[in-house]
Amino acid sequence: MRTVDANRTSLQLATDNYRKGITPFVTVLDAERQLAQTREQLAQSTVNVTTDLIAVYKALGGGWQDEGFRL
């Protein structure tokens, strides 16, 4: 999350500098690319953590009960 926030700030700075004529537009494009990559990495790591948590929960018994089966 911190990396995404840092890249968002970097994009804002690059955009501001481009509008002021300080940096070329390619700098803005690069900042956008980096932000998109870190957002994708964050989403993928969230999926991985969630999947691993489900696997642990299932391995420990999960607490699920089959409502159709009663003793």
pLDDT tens string 18-63: 999 999 999 999 999 999 999 999 999 999 999 999 888 888 887 6
Q: Which is it for the CA torsion 34, 36, 38, 44, positive or negative?
A: negative
* Those residues with Cβ within 8 angstroms of residue 13's Cβ, 6 or more apart along the chain or in another chain: 31
Identify the residue with better confidence: 47 or 69.
Answer: 47
Classify residue 68 by its DSSP letter.
Answer: T
Confidence of residue 64 (pLDDT cuts 50, 70, 90): low
